Chains A and B, each alone.
Chain A
Amino acid sequence: MTDTSRVLRFAVNVTPKPGILDPQGRAVEGSLGHLGIDGVRDVRVGRRVELTVEAADAEAGRAIVERLAAELLSNPLIEAYAIESLGDGVPGEPPR
């Protein structure tokens, strides 16, 4: 890490696109009755990826995460993603 770079934490939330069948979400919904819970619907199960990025600034960091999210973490045909900034990360060894 150079003196001018920043260490940033991000989360990428990946969810099935609207209209894509989500059998996991449906299974979760199906179990609600067993818990005696009413009034819950539209359950969609996705995944959340948290990561630390070292970049020149916040904008550059987000651009890296954007590329990662679009090319690897999500399949644009079936999934949507949203990037969330989690603030500053801890400088040091990159996590393995």
Chain B
Amino acid sequence: MSVRIGVAIFPGSNRDVDAVNALTLAGAEPVELWHERADLDGVAGVVIPGGFAYGDYLRAGVIARFSPIMRAVAAFAAEGGLVLGICNGFQVLTEAHLLPGALLRNRGLRFVSRFVEIRPERLDTPFTLALPDGRPLRVPVAHGEGCFYADEPDLDRLERDGQVLFRYVDDAGRAAAPGSRANPNGSLRSIAGVLNAGGNVAGLMPHPETASEAILGSADGLGVIRSLVESAARRQGSGTPVEVGAR
């Protein structure tokens, strides 16, 4: 029996179809969860997809935070449930305080839509364990507010505790400084994705679910989705959360 993974859908979500497609490719049974639902239908993991939830009014992701489905997601995450936020989903999770930091307007002010390279900083998390190695992944970004921000002490803590999950890197594989083209939005410390302290909630601005088939320009991202699916299946099988604490 394939593992059931939920995809939360808000008014304005638009990458939910990509998430459903990638989850299917990764061997899961995707379950669409409308934002008005107050439960998760017993899924083993949840993806918060990209888009413009509630029109991104006020601040990207903030209105979605107060929806019934997000209350259920917060409860699920508190019990160790696996949650992956992509792009707008990342913004929703930071606004919901399920992930650290904030996503600011891109430093260059423009909406950026192109391929970037991101390097997994850890391969022992539920979101990266199926990746073959630490080589950079070629995945697209498509966002106007993706500049990762946290204050200096928080950034130091994230690095120390192994909560930096992905970094933007240049052609030579070096972390891409804010202001360089390989860092599409000016993110501090080149951070493209982070983990929560418990290691069961992750978010990233690039779209691994879109880079899930060679015909789409890259299949590099599928490893991230497959990691989530495998981790959720393990968790379901053992009845206990996958052991991934902070380092």
Q: Would you call B104 an interface residue if the criterion is a C-beta within 8 Å of the partner chain's C-beta atoms?
A: yes
Q: Which of B126-183 contact A (CB under 8 A)?
A: 147, 149-151
Instruction: Assess A21 versus B104: contact at CB under 8 Å? Given A77-B150, A78-B149.
Output: yes
Interface residues on A, range: 10 to 19
How far is B147's CA from A21's CA once the two chains are assembled, in angstroms? 10
Interface residue from A23, A24, A75 paired with B62 (Cβ < 8 Å): A75
How far in angstroms is the closest Cβ of chain B from A1?
26
Interfacial chain B residues near A60, Cβ < 8 Å: none
Number of interface residues of B (CB under 8 A): 18
- In terms of DSSP, what is the predominant structure of the interface of chain B? loop
- Check if B58 sits within 8 Å of A77, measured CB to CB: no
How far in angstroms is the closest Cβ of chain A from B197?
16
Interface residue from A24, A73, A75 paired with B109 (Cβ < 8 Å): A24
Interfacial chain B residues near A72, Cβ < 8 Å: 58, 62, 66
Interfacial chain A residues near B66, Cβ < 8 Å: 72
How far is B109's CA from A75's CA once the two chains are assembled, in angstroms? 20
Q: Would you call B108 an interface residue if the criterion is a C-beta within 8 Å of the partner chain's C-beta atoms?
A: yes
How far is B104's CA from A84's CA once the two chains are assembled, in angstroms? 26
Interfacial chain B residues near A23, Cβ < 8 Å: 105-109
Instruction: Report 10 cross-chain contacts, Cβ distance below 8 Å, ordered by A residue.
Output: A20-B149, A21-B107, A23-B107, A27-B109, A73-B58, A75-B62, A77-B101, A77-B102, A77-B149, A78-B149
